[in-house]
Amino acid sequence: MKQIMDAVVIGGGIAGCSLAKQLADLGWRTVLLDRQSFPRHKTCGEFLSPESQEMLSKLGLDAVMESLQPQLISKARLIFEHGGSVEVPLPGTAWGISRYTLDSALHEAIIHAGANVRTGVTVTSIKQNEEGYEVKMKRHGEVEVIQARTVYAAWGSHRHSNMFNEPYPLDSSKPSYVGIKSHYSGIQPESVTELYFVKGGYIGISPVENGYSNVAALLEKGVVKGAGTTIPVILESASKENHQLVERMKHAVPVEGTQVSIAPVHLSHHPLAWHVIPHLGDAAVVIPPLCGDGMSIALRSSILCCAFADRYLRGEISLSRWQEEYTQAIEHEFSGLIRRGRIAHVLCSMPRITRWFPTVVRICPPIGKYLVKATRLKSYT
Ligand SMILES: Cc1cc2nc3c(=O)[nH]c(=O)nc-3n(C[C@H](O)[C@H](O)[C@H](O)COP(=O)(O)OP(=O)(O)OC[C@H]3O[C@@H](n4cnc5c(N)ncnc54)[C@H](O)[C@@H]3O)c2cc1C
């Protein structure tokens, strides 16, 4: 007899892992699929906010967190192109931890919870049928099909245009961005996450494990075009006009094998909670990375999604009620953050604003604290 899974989660990043863990903990037969092999490096600032840590703990992932050796981060520093800078204390201690380590530790935890984790598997199409969904995937050129009662899009910011029979609704922001990252040695580590503003974007530096620094950037496509063929060269070229960044990177040496990129990155105008199947994490909401809270959104959306999924799988609610209520919950939770994040993103790229901003924060420090708070998710209760 054909086996039908209760849940197929597509994407083994923060959102997919946390959802798979919750569903497996509830006893649902769960499969997590990811096209990459783990451990893998991932384009991310690797700044794990206090809100994210709180949610990982609530998901029963304390043992995972204890196994990590994060760097502790207590302040954020913004350094503008014209040389002005602002330092703001964070509302709690953040962690600097690589996605290489974090995501792999999460995979181990979900295997322990009883989920089946399959990597190196690319999902190519999802079709709705009377038993739920048929998920088609490819591994080394071989096609395989799984039947599932529920399927979840936790596949990151990429819009898989051929995944469904129907096209994605449009929410394309202009300009589109390129995200890049590399670990470096030779940058004196500090317990600070730094954000340097450059032409067409920003470059963040955060301490991670092993004494390395993670350097991650979000840059307009036009800035990257023709800037070089390797990530360290692109980063060097983009840094040129921020003298303090040039100084900070003076002795930096890229760590081999840690360079990754992602493109195009479109920042969300509106959340996309549902398109044929529920969406979570970056598949639902992409906020400007300067907020440093994308991982919080991934975790929070997985918690929201799991509560509805459990009720649906138990037969307590219909699919259409799940869709309607989950969509409302995602909009309620994230619409304000998307708006505030976009405002901060635009303001920080306006020289007329950034020129007086450091002085204003120096005269009135609560303004800096307010801005840090405004671009973060509220604590999870
Ligand atoms: C430059 C930059 C800096 C950032 N800095 C920070 C930061 O400091 N702090 C923070 O909290 N957030 C940060 N973010 C945001 C954060 O990285 C994301 O919000 C977070 O990774 C989203 O997690 P996710 O699980 O939704 O997606 P992802 O982590 O992207 O995981 C998606 C997974 O799906 C898999 N996948 C995709 N398609 C398929 C398919 N067809 N079949 C099978 N598998 C598939 C991929 O291989 C991937 O592993 C940053 C983002 C960028 C671009």
Residue 252, domain member (yes or no)? yes
Q: Helix H segments across the chain? A: 14-25, 50-58, 62-67, 99-112, 221-224, 231-239, 243-248, 294-313, 319-347, 351-363, 365-374
Torsion region of 221: left, alpha or beta (phi above 0 gives left; psi -120 to 50 gives alpha): alpha
277 closest CA partner among 362, 155, 145, 100: 155
Residue 316 covered by a domain: yes
- Report CA(227)–ligand 1 centroid distance (Å): 24
Is residue 379 included in any domain, yes or no? no
Which is the closest atom of ligand 1 to the Cα of 281? Answer: 26
Q: How much distance in Å is there from the Cα of 204 to the middle of ligand 1?
A: 16
Ligand 1: centre distance to CA 282 (Å): 6
Residue 375: which pLDDT band, with cuts at 50, 70 and 90? low
pLDDT at 52 (0 to 100): 94
Q: What are the backbone angles phi and psi of residue 342, rounded to the nearest 5°? A: -65, -40
To the nearest 10°, the Cα dihedral for 33, 34, 35, 41?
A: -170
Q: Which atom belonging to ligand 1 lies closest to the Cα atom of 217? A: 1
Q: In this predicted model, what pLDDT tens digit does every residue of 110-152 receive, in sequence order?
A: 999 999 999 999 999 999 999 999 999 999 999 999 999 999 9
Does one domain contain both 201 and 244? Answer: yes
Residues 240 and 366 grouped into a single domain = yes
The rounded Å distance from CA 30 to ligand 1 centre is 21
Q: Is the dihedral of CA 101, 104, 108, 110 positive or negative?
A: positive
Please tell me whether residues 114 and 234 are part of one structural domain: no
Q: How many CA atoms lie within 13 A of 196 on its CB side?
A: 24
Domain count within the chain: 2
Query: Could you tell me if 153 and 9 are in contact, meaning their C-beta atoms sit under 8 angstroms apart?
Result: no
Q: The domain spanning residue 181 has which CATH number?
A: 3.30.70.2450
pLDDT class of 365 with cuts at 50, 70, 90: confident
Pocket of ligand 1, beta carbon within 6 A: 10-16, 33-36, 42-47, 122-123, 154-156, 158, 160, 179, 216, 218, 262, 265, 281-283, 289, 292-295, 298
Which of the listed residues 155, 163, 276 should we mutate to test ligand 1's pocket, taking the one with most ligand atoms within 8 A of CB? Answer: 155
Domain that holds residue 131: 4-70+99-171+269-346
Q: How far is CA 296 from the centre of its chain?
A: 8
Does residue 121 lie in a domain region? yes
User: What predicted TM-score, i.e. pTM, was given to this entire model?
Assistant: 0.95
Same domain, 306 and 182: no
